[in-house]
Amino acid sequence: MRLLTQIITMLLVISLAPAVTLAIDRNNTESMAQDENISFIDQSMSRFYAERSSFETNLIQRIPAPQEYNDELPPAGAKEVIYDSGDLKLKAWLSDKPADNNKHPAVVFAHGGFSFGGTGWNDGQEFINHGFVLMTPMLRGENGNPGNFEYFYGEVNDLLAAADYLANVSYIDSENIFLCGHSVGGTLSILSSMMPSNYRAISSFGGMPDTGYLIKYGGYPIPFDSKNIKEFELRSAIYHGDSIIKPLFIYVGDQEDASLIQFSKDFVKYEKLIGKPCEFTGVKGDHWSSVAESVRLSRIEFENIQAYEALALNRSLSYSWIAKGNDLLNLTRYDDALKCFDKAIAADPFSALAWNAKGSALGEMGHYDEAIKCFEKAIEIDDEFSLAWENKSLALRALGKIAESNSALVKARQLGNMW
């Protein structure tokens, strides 16, 4: 059954090749099999960051943000401050110094829409009530700020600059600065998770991993050269799924548009599959009524971020073992590959990819019964993992279990839209 085992290997390689190639390029790693401590959580670099660094957006319209605003004064307990974003001096509201002399964690709350109003401050009150310092920045071109509306580009820099400002405030714990945002702010938060910054973790409430549809059909002016596809790609997280370098928590209301819910789930599922620190949580409510609960859940995640970081590190380590095992599998070093996959499972027992990889190695070795158990474990973890269903079908066929094989193959093709 040599043909079968070659097919199993081929399927695994196809599944991993794009993400592995990107990870190797990003980490400047010559051989993934040399260092067992490789982690893909690299806080200083990402492909998204590298591409942005070598690109300058071409603004063909230099206009302010396209939403009206009211000049509001900060509420009691807050003041207006000025923070620097490059050459721009931008406004923000900052909560007052707490009464004690301790250093406090801080949260930057990125508002929804393209202008700031007091509701954005109210949305973040949960953080103040639990000991965080709150900052709500107004971005370039908004609320009378200098600069131009860039539609999900330069605004990312402004959010990163807000964290830099907080890191230099005497009563803020510079190791515990967080970012969250709603709607447009949530989309900018997702993009910010792919950039090196002073943020420890980031949350998005109703943000969009793919901004292309909104930009083209949202009814707002497109200030950049829309004929250049790169302009769109660098404004949309979906094109840089390998680039998340900060823990990212995505919250979406269960009454949101169904396509946003599914797209967000699929985005997070892919991120977790390739070892990225990303989570999806469905919350009761629509685009607006889900915000309060999303903020509450996000605050809890931020308070317990150290525990999550340990989980994320194990996930990253597991993926690095899978990648190294896959390299060895391609060299027909089956026993060595199997050891790598066992280490991947030890690091993250809930990695469907790791169980599928182990099953593939066992299939190469002709141990089809054991391989099937691994594929079934992968399916138990993720019953929509079409690759595991496909490989299970192949292993069953090798054992002459044609009816069961056909049934698994039908399931695989239904999930993979392969008909």
Taking the domains of the chain in order of start, what are their residue ranges?
2-30+313-416, 47-303
Quick one: average pLDDT of 180-186? 98
**Above 80 in pLDDT, residue 36?**
no
Among 83, 62, 38, 89, which Cα is nearest to 313's?
38
Residue-wise pLDDT tens digits, 185-194: 999 999 999 9
Using CA atoms, how far residue 209 sits from 78, 212, 262, 315, in Å, is 32, 9, 11, 22
Determine the topology of domain 47-303 in CATH: Rossmann fold (3.40.50)
- 0.75 exceeded by the pTM? yes
Over the chain, what is the mean pLDDT?
89
Whole-number pLDDT of residue 118: 87
Cα(303)–Cα(178) distance, integer angstroms: 10
Q: Would you say residue 26 has pLDDT above 90? A: no
Q: Mind listing the pLDDT tens digit for each residue in 75-112? A: 999 999 999 999 999 999 999 999 998 999 999 999 99
The type of residue at 185 is G
Interior/surface letters 61-92, b for 16+ CB within 10 angstroms, e for the rest: eeebbbeebeeeebeeebeebebebeebebbb
The third-level CATH classification (topology) of the domain covering 2-30+313-416 is 1.25.40
Q: What is the pLDDT of residues 40-54, one digit of tens each?
A: 444 568 999 999 999
Q: Hunting for tokens 């009814």 — which residue is that?
A: 219
> Closest Cα partner for 201 from 297, 111, 102?
297
